[in-house]
Amino acid sequence: MWIANGWNDYEVIDTSAGEKLERWGDYMLVRPDPQVIWNTDKKHFGWKKWNGHYHRSSKGGGEWEFRKLPEEWTINYKELTFNLKPFSFKHTGLFPEQAANWDWFSSLIKEAGREIKVLNLFAYTGGATVSAAKAGAKVTHVDAAKGMVAWAKENAASSGLADAPIRYLVDDCVKFVEREIRRGNKYDAIIMDPPSYGRGPKGEIWKIEESVFPFIKLTSQLLSDNPLFFLINSYTTGLQPAVLSYMLHTVLDPIHPGKIEADEIGLPVKSNGLVLPCGASGRWTAR
């Protein structure tokens, strides 16, 4: 498992009964987590003295309850600063476990000895974008949600990257990739974090089980003649690391033989030293 253990401003304090207790800077949140199917004694005071608690509804969705939690605040990861705010369906605008990937590809970018053009698809609030830019890459950030792209710009500015070579695009990722292929544009590295389900601008349905493999094949056409890495993340139950590895082998090996790895990503839990699984990632790197 790839573990995001470099945080100072974030930690999973404890887990029990379908929930996790987290510290985000100076504030503690309780949020649901479908992986937490065990029950333990909730001894930490944070289980009762939380600042925000997302209550899951039996009818689907849920709602936040707050106690002395600001509308927005920031936390740091190494040289990066991220803006946080609780919003729909339990999220805060950041997935801390992805720091395991940020560290991995940042090292590759720094050690490349050349300018690296990175394409970040389904880029959300830009955790990967600002990490790649801080490492020295030229980044194209694509997400279909205007609000998420604006949030990514805020994270870049907070991290001292307001003038970094980042191109922000509010666009459907599939349509954008198709246009980039027609334009003949190429990238040295590709990051994608596709959703489990979504709809395109004309009502096209995205179901990851049906759509992700054709999309990887499509996107592989944008790789340069000297690519550095390809990263795919998944939070979809059933898409195991071996599935990600198989897709990367099938698509990339015939055109760019390299090293392929896939594993779960996770966060250490302070109360017991165990690791909470938080999705999976597949990585391709040049040999």
Per-residue pLDDT, 201: 62
pLDDT in tens, 113-129: 999 999 999 999 999 99
Per-residue pLDDT, 275: 97
Distance CA 51, CA 66 (A): 6
Per-residue pLDDT, 270: 96
Mean pLDDT by 10 residues, the chain (287 residues): 98 97 98 94 96 89 93 97 92 97 98 97 97 98 95 98 98 95 98 83 73 94 98 88 96 95 97 95 94
Distance CA 44, CA 196 (A): 34
pLDDT in tens, 196-227: 777 766 677 777 778 899 999 999 999 999 99
Exposed, middle or buried, 212 (CB in 10 Å: 0-12/13-18/19+)?
Answer: buried
Q: What angle do CA 274, 263, 4 make, to 5 degrees?
A: 50
What are the C-alpha distances in Å from 13 to residues 40, 48, 82, 95, 235? 13, 13, 20, 16, 21
Per-residue pLDDT, 170: 96
DSSP 104: H
Of 128, 70, 133, give the one whose Cα is nearest residue 96.
Answer: 128
Specify the pTM: 0.94
Please, what are the domains in the chain? 2-84 (2.60.40.1180), 96-286 (3.40.50.150)
